[in-house]
Amino acid sequence: MKYQGRYFNGESALGFPAEISLLDTCIRIEYLESDVAVTVDWAVSEIHKVENLSKNELILFYGKYPVHSLKFDDFSAFDALKNTYGSASFLKSPYQKILQLKLSAILVITSILIGLIVLSYIFLLPIIAEKASVKMPPSVESYLGEGLNAKLLSQFELDSVKTAAAQEIVDNLKLEGDDPLTVYIVKSNDKNAFAIPGGSIFIYDSLIYSMNSCSTFVALVGHEYAHIYLRHTVRTLIRSLSSYLLLTFLFGDATGLSAAIVQNADLLKSLEYNRDLESAADSFAVEFLVKNGFSGRHMGELLETFKSEKGIKVWEIISTHPDVQSRIDALKVHSNSIPNQDITSEIDLKLWDIVRREN
């Protein structure tokens, strides 16, 4: 269908009567200039304005210098324009343009927000995890510990005889505070020991075969107990799982958090504490030994024993291999003033014989 109108080429003020066709990609304008037929095609993308709608006039503007314009005789051509070029920018109302601007502003703000979330994920999450674990009430920690214990015990073969003897040794040790400490001796060819939040220690029987005295065993217990008492385990565990826990929190429910931690109980077997925490646990163990009538030097002996061991698969206590010697050196300074001999240990060594005995 052709429309009638007047074409202004930017030079003639009167314009030319023209026939207008709405083609797919352009508007075709045909007119006579000095009796010569002229055809002009307007690329739709170059039409930048439609005007005077309120006065029932329909004028399109095209190009820049000079600006060409086209006035339709029939205002109803506007519907035909919308039908043919509905998505073209010149047909969008100022309101729609503002909306578009707002949309792009929203897009920019959203990108900035996503950027911030990524940055907080990398930098803030560990800090938040740290704070959350520090504030975790003891009741939640022991509830968590029960779940972790049950899950881990189902994975191991418990040596109940050795466990009973080891527990009797531990029951005779002076602890910090009133919370009990539970020890489990499990059968495994690996050499490992690890602590559970809430107050349990798992020790692999193969690890005990490397020890030559009950005092080094007490040093090991003291070191693992430090990770529990000083809350290294719960802090490191939550920190290691922080991104996983965040996802659980976002897409699941908050009450599922402890279940999520228990699901990852395996992580405890190879949890690596940072060097500062290991050193703190070593120092704690020295004090623990002395408090229980042993020489604090046994903690250094324990590290020396383990350092010389070969074929260690996972070993919490010397997981930070390059640091072991510096830890031993630090302990020597720490325990220089401590006598070499055990002072008043009241442990029944028959119990140690049971724990140490190779099956």
Task: Name the site residues for Zn ion (rule: CB under 5 A).
Answer: 278, 281
Nearer to Zn ion by C-beta: 39 or 326? 326
Q: In the complex, what is the shortest distance from the CB of residue 221 to Zn ion, in angstroms, rounded to a whole number?
A: 12
- Of 134, 115, 157, nearest to 237 by C-alpha is 134
How far is Cα 237 from Cα 269, in angstroms, rounded to an integer? 11
Nearer to Zn ion by C-beta: 50 or 282? 282
Q: In the complex, what is the shortest distance from the CB of residue 227 to Zn ion, in angstroms, rounded to a whole number?
A: 6
How far is Cα 320 from Cα 302, in angstroms, rounded to an integer? 15
Nearer to Zn ion by C-beta: 88 or 230? 230
Nearer to Zn ion by C-beta: 243 or 320? 320
Q: How many residues does the chain have?
A: 359
- The answer to whether the CB of 319 falls within 8 A of the CB of 190 is no
Q: Which two tokens stand for residue 116?
A: 């911030």
Nearer to Zn ion by C-beta: 260 or 318? 318
- Of 52, 46, 50, nearest to 64 by C-alpha is 46
Nearer to Zn ion by C-beta: 203 or 281? 281
Q: Which two tokens stand for residue 284?
A: 């704690």
Q: In the complex, what is the shortest distance from the CB of residue 278 to Zn ion, in angstroms, rounded to a whole number?
A: 5
Q: In the complex, what is the shortest distance from the CB of residue 303 to Zn ion, in angstroms, rounded to a whole number?
A: 10
Q: In the complex, what is the shortest distance from the CB of residue 282 to Zn ion, in angstroms, rounded to a whole number?
A: 8
Nearer to Zn ion by C-beta: 159 or 278? 278
Which region, left, alpha or beta, applies to residue 16 given φ > 0 means left and ψ of -120 to 50 means alpha? beta
How far is Cα 92 from Cα 83, in angstroms, rounded to an integer? 13
Q: How far is CA 38 from the centre of its chain?
A: 68
Q: Which two tokens stand for residue 162?
A: 């050795």
Q: Which two tokens stand for residue 212?
A: 């030559």
Which residues have C-beta within 8 Å of that of residue 322, sequence separation ≥ 6? none
Strand (E) or helix (H) holding 168: helix 160-171
Q: In the complex, what is the shortest distance from the CB of residue 338 to Zn ion, in angstroms, rounded to a whole number?
A: 20
- Position 319: which residue type? S
Residue with token string 């077997």: 269
Nearer to Zn ion by C-beta: 316 or 342? 316
- The answer to whether the CB of 226 falls within 8 A of the CB of 280 is yes
Q: In the complex, what is the shortest distance from the CB of residue 274 to Zn ion, in angstroms, rounded to a whole number?
A: 10
Nearer to Zn ion by C-beta: 40 or 330? 330
Exposed, middle or buried: residue 24 (CB in 10 Å: 0-12, 13-18, 19+)?
A: exposed
Q: Where are the beta strands (DSSP E) in the chain?
A: 2-8, 16-22, 26-33, 36-43, 47-51, 58-62, 68-72, 157-158, 182-187, 193-196, 200-204
Nearer to Zn ion by C-beta: 20 or 268? 268
Q: Which two tokens stand for residue 127?
A: 């800090």
